[in-house]
């Protein structure tokens, strides 16, 4: 006997588990983003305009974007260099293999450790009255502030960001390092290549898309960070996330739509960085399969 014919749209049961996540994403990611994008091109009366975008070309906003880009680029650069060295040491180097699991576990935790707890940890350790600051002054007579060190500054923020940038680099680049085939190194050695030539001519060209893509991801990760910067420096450092936070609170700018334009600019920059990461990650995976 043939099964009864069912009409109408039916959602497969296997998709029901995704429904809460899809609803959460729509309400708290897609809908606010769309609201910001639309608001960036509207006047307070609801009329279409490009003036909000043009108003971003002011000294304070340009400076905020520039400092944010500087912090993001430098923290991503140092995060990539240090993280790559650590990942290579435990993956391909001569360090004990048992170190890898603790390092990866710590990286998984530290890459998500940010915001007020991270800012407090650095202030308590490297701040003006921090543990290491006082210890150096009492035990060795070294006053780090006399040498120009200030945690509540651009470089202080960069060093703080490295706490989660380095672990994130380790988590992403370790699988790419695992993908380097042993046969490639053996073939290079048989052809007379040294270790340095192997890395320069074989390994690094293959890893380059992964490295550049991870740099783009770390840049976006730092550019969008706001809680750590606010908790660490407060309003003393003029960066785009802090300026946007002040606008949301109504402290500066005085125009909600200009605030939307400021957020729209951040969305464009982080969106480009993430798109570059996804594209380069896809290219690198073709080599490492």
Please check the confidence at residue 139 and state whether its pLDDT lies above 80.
yes
| Confidence tier at 250 by pLDDT (50, 70, 90) | low
As given in the structure block, the two tokens for residue 71 are 């912090």
Q: For position 6, what pLDDT does the model report? A: 56
Q: What's the pLDDT at 238?
A: 84
Q: What is the pLDDT of residue 147?
A: 81
pLDDT score for 7: 54
d(CA 62, CA 240): 9
What pairs with residue 48 in β-bridges? 42
Task: Give the contacts of 185 (CB within 8 A, at least 6 positions apart).
Answer: 198, 202, 203
Contact 270, 220 (CB under 8 A): yes
Cβ(240)–Cβ(266) below 8 Å: yes
pLDDT for the residue numbered 239: 87
Say what the pLDDT of residue 254 is. 61
pLDDT per residue as tens digits for the range 151-208: 888 899 999 999 999 999 999 999 889 888 888 888 888 888 888 888 888 888 888 8
Per-residue pLDDT averaged across 279-285, rounded?
77
Give residue 4's pLDDT band: very low, low, confident or very high (50, 70, 90): low
Q: Over the chain, what is the mean pLDDT?
A: 85
Cα angle 279, 283, 284 (rounded to 5 degrees) comes to 115
Q: What is the pLDDT of residue 32?
A: 87
- Predicted local confidence at residue 5, as pLDDT: 56
Q: What angle do helix axes 154-178 and 100-110 make, rounded to 10 degrees?
A: 130
Confidence of residue 209 (pLDDT cuts 50, 70, 90): confident
Q: Give the chain as a DSSP string.
A: -PPPP--S----GGGGGGHHHHHHHIIIIIHHHHHHHHHHTB-TTS-B-SHHHHTT-SHHHHHHHHHHHHHHHHHHHHHHHHHHHHHHHHHTSSS-GGGHHHHHHHHHHHTT--SHHHHHHHHHHHSTT-HHHHHHHHHH---GGGGT--SSSHHHHHHHHHHHHHHHHHHHHHHHHHTS-HHHHHHHHHTT--HHHHIIIIIHHHHHHHHHHHHHHHHHHHHT--HHHHHHHGGGS--HHHHHHHHHHTSSSS-HHHHHHHHHHHHHHHHHHHHHHHHHHHHHHHHH-
Question: How does residue 145 score in pLDDT terms, banded at 50, 70 and 90?
Answer: confident
| pLDDT recorded at residue 21 | 87
- State the Cα angle at 180 between 178 and 183, rounded to 5°: 125
pLDDT > 70? residue 255: yes
pLDDT in tens, 66-112: 999 999 999 999 999 999 999 999 988 778 888 889 999 999 999 98
Q: What is the pLDDT of residue 106?
A: 93
pTM score, whole prediction: 0.85
């Amino acid at each position: 006997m043939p099964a009864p014919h069912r009409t109408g749209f039916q959602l497969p049961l296997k998709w029901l588990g995704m429904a809460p996540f899809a609803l959460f994403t729509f309400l708290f990611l897609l809908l606010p983003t769309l609201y910001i994008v639309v608001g960036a091109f509207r006047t307070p009366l609801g009329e279409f305009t490009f003036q909000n975008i043009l108003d971003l070309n002011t000294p304070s906003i340009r400076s905020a974007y520039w400092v944010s880009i500087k912090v993001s680029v430098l923290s991503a650069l140092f995060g990539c260099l240090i993280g790559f060295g650590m990942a290579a040491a435990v993956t391909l180097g001569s360090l004990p293999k048992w170190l890898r699991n603790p390092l990866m576990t710590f990286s998984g935790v530290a890459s998500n450790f940010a915001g007020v707890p991270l800012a407090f940890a650095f202030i308590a350790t490297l701040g003006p009255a921090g543990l290491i600051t006082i210890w150096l002054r009492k035990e060795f007579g070294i006053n780090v502030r006399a040498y120009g060190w200030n945690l509540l500054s651009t470089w202080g923020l960069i060093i703080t960001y490295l706490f989660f940038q380095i672990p994130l680099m380790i988590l992403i680049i370790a699988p790419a390092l695992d993908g380097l085939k042993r046969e490639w190194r053996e073939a290079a050695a048989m052809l007379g290549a040294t270790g340095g030539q192997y890395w320069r001519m074989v390994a690094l060209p293959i890893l380059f898309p992964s490295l550049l893509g991870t740099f783009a991801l770390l840049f976006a990760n730092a550019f969008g960070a706001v809680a750590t910067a606010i908790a660490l420096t407060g309003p003393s450092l003029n960066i785009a996330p802090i300026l946007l936070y002040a606008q949301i609170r109504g402290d500066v700018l005085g125009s909600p739509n200009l605030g939307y334009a400021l957020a729209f600019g951040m969305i464009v920059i982080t969106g480009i960085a993430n798109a570059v990461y996804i594209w380069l990650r896809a290219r690198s995976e073709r080599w490492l399969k």
